[in-house]
Amino acid sequence: MDEALPIADVSASSSSEAIIRLHRVDNRFNTLVVHENLDLDIRKGEILGIIGGSGTGKSILLRTILGLHHASAGEIFVMGVNMNTASEEKKKRIRKQWGVLFQDGALFSSLTVGENIAFPLREFTSVSKSMREAISLMKLDLVGLPLSAYDLYPGELSGGMKKRAGLARALALDPAILLLDEPTAGLDPLGAADFDRLLLGLRAGLGLTVCMVTHDLDSLHAVCDRVAVLAEKRIYAVDSIANLLHVKHPWIQEYFTGPRGRMASHARGLAALCQWEHSGADQR
């Protein structure tokens, strides 16, 4: 089993398989340094979780990848394109390749669910209104929402439905990359588990690359291939949870082996055991 990669080794990992690459990125706000010499590769087809303590700049990092915040220094490559130097036309083409789900869903309150999902199609394509409606209905079904939700307004939806509606909009342009900010925040445990299963199904069915900022230990165990840890103003380590357990850093140890970490790990083990027993029963 490989040891978790510290920051010095992250940039040396195979960049040929990286669909997003951050190289020596700084984020500074006057005298406040949030990130310094930050490197990270997000591999094609993986689900990568980003975690860190309060004030480590998890959401700022996501906004930096999206171009909503401009890094003070460093380079960001998406699908091989340097987003610092690319033309606006090329950036626009790249941005069509990602879908984004913000923490609260960020739905337009004055638009129906169907209109929200169709919004990227209206802004970035020339497809007809009838085609936009057909695609929106298909995306609604894809995320497990009833077609009756199409004409509802965001204020009429539950928290879980808002998340799924936001996800449907993020998938409207058939992106290759999905970027999520705290996707299970505010959901009850059953709703969060349903969302995790949905995410795994979408990755398997659509071949998505997923990067999600989260503090949800259950989700990390359930869906993430690797987890990147923000600490000391950089990506301190990035690896599987099993390998991160061996990283000698106090925050990482407390996060994964403290009471909540042990509970999430135990729950994951019980789920795997139940699945195995169910599979054995089916075979018998």
pLDDT on residue 277 = 46
- Banded pLDDT at 273 (limits 50, 70, 90): very low
Poorest-pLDDT segment among 87-91, 198-202, 266-270: 266-270
pLDDT on residue 223 = 96
Whole-prediction pTM: 0.84
The partner residues of 27 in beta bridges, in order of sequence, read: 35
Q: How far apart are CA 264 and CA 217, in angstroms?
A: 6
Question: Residue 22: exposed, middle, or buried by beta-carbon count in 10 A (0-12, 13-18, 19+)?
Answer: buried
pLDDT on residue 279 = 52
| pLDDT over threshold 50, residue 74 | yes
The partner residues of 99 in beta bridges, in order of sequence, read: 178
pLDDT in tens, 241-253: 999 999 999 999 9
| pLDDT over threshold 60, residue 229 | yes
pLDDT in tens, 90-143: 999 999 999 999 877 789 999 999 999 999 999 889 999 999 999 999 999 999
Q: How far apart are CA 64 and CA 72, in angstroms?
A: 10
Length of the chain (residues): 284
Q: What is the CATH number of domain 5-97+175-247?
A: 3.40.50.300
CB 33, CB 71: distance < 8 Å: no
Residue-wise over 82-91: b if at least 16 C-beta within 10 A, else e?
A: ebeeeeeeeb
Q: Which residues contact 74 (CB under 8 A, 6 or more apart)?
A: 22, 23, 24, 25, 26, 37, 38
| pLDDT over threshold 50, residue 270 | no
| pLDDT over threshold 60, residue 222 | yes
pLDDT in tens, 156-212: 999 899 999 999 999 999 999 999 999 999 899 999 999 999 999 999 999 999 999
Poorest-pLDDT segment among 132-141, 217-226, 243-252, 270-279: 270-279
pLDDT on residue 258 = 74
Of 26, 75, 36, which Cα lies nearest the Cα of 236? 36
Q: Provide the token pair at 49.
A: 């979780």
pLDDT in tens, 3-53: 443 333 333 334 448 999 999 999 999 999 999 999 999 999 999 999 999
Residue bearing the bigger pLDDT, 91 or 275: 91
HEC profile for the chain?
Answer: CCCCEEHHHHCCCCHHHEEEEEEEEEEEECCEEEEEEEEEEEECCCEEEEEECCCCCHHHHHHHHHCCCCCCEEEEEECCEECCCCCHHHHHHHHCCEEEECCCCCCCCCCCHHHHHHHHHHHHCCCCHHHHHHHHHHHHHHCCCCHHHHHCCHHHCCHHHHHHHHHHHHCCCCCCEEEEECCCCCCCHHHHHHHHHHHHHHHHHHCCEEEEECCCHHHHHHHCCEEEEEECCEEEEEECHHHHCCCCCHHHHHHHHCHHHHHHHHHHHHHHHHHHHHHHHHHC
Domains of the chain, by residue range, sit at 5-97+175-247, 110-174
Percent of the chain whose predicted confidence (pLDDT) is above 90? 78
CB 176, CB 118: distance < 8 Å: no
